[in-house]
Amino acid sequence: MIASELAPAKINLTLHVTGQRSDGYHLLDSLVVFTEIGDTLSARKLQGLSLSITGPESAGLGAGADNLVLRAARLIGASDLALTLEKCLPLASGIGGGSSDAAACLRLVARLRGLAMPTTRAVLGLGADVPVCLTPRTCRMQGIGEAVTPLPTLPSFWLVLVNPRVEVPTPKVFRALAQRDNAPMPATLPQWRQADDLFEFLAEQRNDLQAPACQIAPQITQVLQALSGTGGCALSRMSGSGATCFGLFASQDAAQQAEAALKAAYPGWWVAATGLVAAQYSRATT
């Protein structure tokens, strides 16, 4: 039997940098959602532990021992599994691809082998975004990534994700951040009944890493402007430390029209229209 697990893209609808610890780790406050599109990790029984990588975005990603999927597999005690990662999300793009892949590996192995999940502290050793990816659902992420609070289902809306194929190293973005003690989101988040209510709230929030990332990679500004110029885009913003940006749309039709227009105008960009991931994100096939 071959079992598989979706590793959905992680989108930071907001990302407030609220402080910095003495050990250098930054404190964050972020509204996080996960999308229908993502990578897929599959496993079949085979002696030893191995990883192969396929997919349209696999170029440049090594399958050596330092790959996050194999590190996650070793952390949970996996053995006698041949893992295959179908890479569909751009590398190092601010949408949690590697972290989501690692979290998918932990879920998949736990399900197949009946193993307990590692502790949050151990999972943080894989990366600050891995804990929030363990259960891909709408949540509020705080601290350095260890404090994850599930939130009610959001009103229905669609996103268009755009990556201009430029590298924006996360450490460089944080070093360029002018202020590290910014205001968090409200202590109690509203209950949004309609997409417009959510969009209005998000417009009042921030991604504090967007400005320094745009300084490092001006192409991000071009992406944000291109998204804003499409019909029906309520808000455009960068996710994570970039370079992927998102546009928010009230309808699937508007999002798909924007996707088509951007692909035609910018054939070198990675562009994808998507909804939010459903509650059931794992699957098994024979």
* Catalytic site positions: 10, 129
Helices assigned H by DSSP within 128-251: 130-133, 170-175, 195-203, 210-216, 219-228
Cα 38 from Cα 160, distance rounded (Å): 13
Cα 249 from Cα 11, distance rounded (Å): 15
Q: Which two tokens stand for residue 68?
A: 């996050």
- Scanning the structure block, which residue is given the tokens 């996080």? 32
> If you write DSSP's letter for every residue of 2-50 in order, what string do you get?
EEEEEEEEEEES-BEEEEE-TTSPEEEEEEEEEEEEEEEEEEEE-SSEE
Length of the chain equals: 286
Reading phi first (left if > 0) and then psi (alpha if -120 to 50, else beta), residue 64 is in beta
Classify 158 as helix, strand or coil.
Answer: strand
